[in-house]
Structure 1
């Protein structure tokens, strides 16, 4: 999960002011910020940045495949993949500093309700692969077992709401959970320092636990409510980018889809591409994570990236009922499938 989600709201409020003011004045729109580069055939490529949500991992493999395999160049783009600054990916995209980024349905939902015009263009993973994980010796096998345990939190109100929601189904009482903010500490460090469980993406941290020989009990949040089977992560842009340069959006998403399609069909080769592009990553972890995650990118959807209105509205309704939103979401404006390539043409 994004540990900095709790910092998002004030930053997005500032971002909304920037958007209202025209994102920094004349000449500052994403469509105007690009420089030129040349492709192999001498054609001009458009420089484009995409900002990650966190450090590079297998959620991002399709981006690196599209970059390294030349899919972006074929689409006329020179794409640079960057890590987020202090403000985070959502703020950078919403303000127009970069045209594309990796985000989460929960943060885009919150942003839209606050008037920040982020738009989801594609679901990276079709089903929510996050959940509450704990070392098996903590004996947390059901939501009720969280009672009396210490939870490693990052400080977002959505955490307690989700815990309460799934614990209620099992007769548990969330007030009996001790939440401790662990900041940027990783899962394995936290559980050795008094934390019993935390919220993780299994495809990275869970797979790493397997490789370490540290078995986990895992409770996927989607298994306790269909409303919690939301899209995380997602690829986002902002409304202004779509209005000003829809062809850029279409080209970027088509090439990105091709990258994820390659990763679905060739998990081992895709892992090699990510390892080569980001040599600081643990090759064994990347290989194992990619093998686990590649089938889950598209899963039961008719094509990679597809999003359903009921997933957006269902999760937003749940957030509203939990008091996490000040107003109801217009789900039709929060996402679009319009820029995905026609099925079978990637």
Structure 2
């Protein structure tokens, strides 16, 4: 993952996404991984197969899938998992077009795609706390609060959602909200250190950890501290709503989520062991073992995925946090219909998401 490109990029491209697909270049390709012994299964197989598309190169956001696969949780649940590498079209378009049954995305992305006419349903929420951070290099002593970002250059991937968040933070801090933009390269750290930009978006559980381990040091802000309502960072799984109309698919999804949740719970209780399993299972991603371990330790320690029990993942959408953020983005003009116009009303979290498939 680099500089919040994962997930948030899709908002910027949503207008043409359903017809032309998205341009999400992954940090590196991944080989298809299958939890069954006989390939991906077929129509005659007694055990259903769920195909899952990643949104990015494997990282700790996906650790529950790889742990559950390695430890046999899917087999125990009576379902096979086939992990698909990120497609250039993106996980959302791939799910909409039937290329994958389930895809990793965000609730806000589902709102953007469904505003365009897609038929997606958010069925599992991994993150319960905000993981996005808006950061400048710590060496930039002229940037102390978001107010100081006024007139500065924002390193982004053209996302209207990101821009709305940043402008709100700046205005809340007393700035004008006016910013310049620069397109990020393959690494937002490099774009900032080269002087081509002043600040950018990062995930505290990955790039934040990378910064702590390897530098450069960052000075970061959390959106909710600066006037952005709700939780912007509801990352999880989506399916095509019509796919669920088949009771066999609905049953397979429940089994898949149950086993996957067990994989994430194992990772919370055994962060180092789970990180090592991820590195082993996703060899082609060439994950740094120390970064992966420290990332998982950060997640477990600070409860980004949990609420009451630090060792158990709820997996459910917090609708009270979801709707205020969707309302905020709607007012900012982020969501557009297929004609490029503002929808008649804000996307409704209760229509976009369900907790019915999380046991």
TM range (shorter): 0.7 to 0.9
Q: Which 4+ residue blocks in structure 1 deviate beyond 3 angstroms? A: 299-303
**2:277 alignment partner, one of 252, 273, 281:** 273
SS in 2 for 1:180: strand
Q: Normalised by the size of structure 2, how large is the TM-score?
A: 0.83
Query: Are the equivalent residues in 2 in contact too, given 1:260–1:297 (CA < 8 A)?
Result: no
Deviation at 1:242, TM superposition (A): 1.3
Query: Are the equivalent residues in 2 in contact too, given 1:75–1:251 (CA < 8 A)?
Result: yes
Whole-angstrom distance in 2 between the partners of 1:273 and 1:299 = 25
Matched, 1:172 2:175: yes
Other-structure match for 1:185: 186
Query: Are the equivalent residues in 1 in contact too, given 2:126–2:313 (CA < 8 A)?
Result: no
Deviation at 1:13, TM superposition (A): 4.8
Q: For 1:171-320, list aligned pairs within 5 A.
A: 171-175=174-178, 177-182=179-184, 184-194=185-195, 195-225=197-227, 227-244=229-246, 245-279=249-283, 280-294=286-300, 295-300=303-308, 303-320=313-330
Whole-angstrom distance in 2 between the partners of 1:94 and 1:300 = 34
Query: Are the equivalent residues in 2 in contact too, given 1:37–1:45 (CA < 8 A)?
Result: no
Offset from partner CA, 1:176-230 (integer Å, 9 cap, x none): x221112x42122111222221111111001001001422111111322362423
Unaligned runs of 5+ in 2: 22-39, 336-341
Higher helix share: 1
Unaligned runs of 5+ in 1: 16-33, 342-346
Other-structure match for 2:14: 8
Q: For 1:151-162, list aligned pairs within 5 A.
A: 151-162=154-165
Other-structure match for 1:149: 152
Other-structure match for 1:26: none
Deviation at 1:135, TM superposition (A): 1.3
User: How many residues matched?
Assistant: 317
Deviation at 1:90, TM superposition (A): 0.4
Query: Are the equivalent residues in 1 in contact too, given 2:173–2:226 (CA < 8 A)?
Result: no
Deviation at 1:14, TM superposition (A): 5.9
Deviation at 1:101, TM superposition (A): 0.9
SS in 1 for 2:220: strand
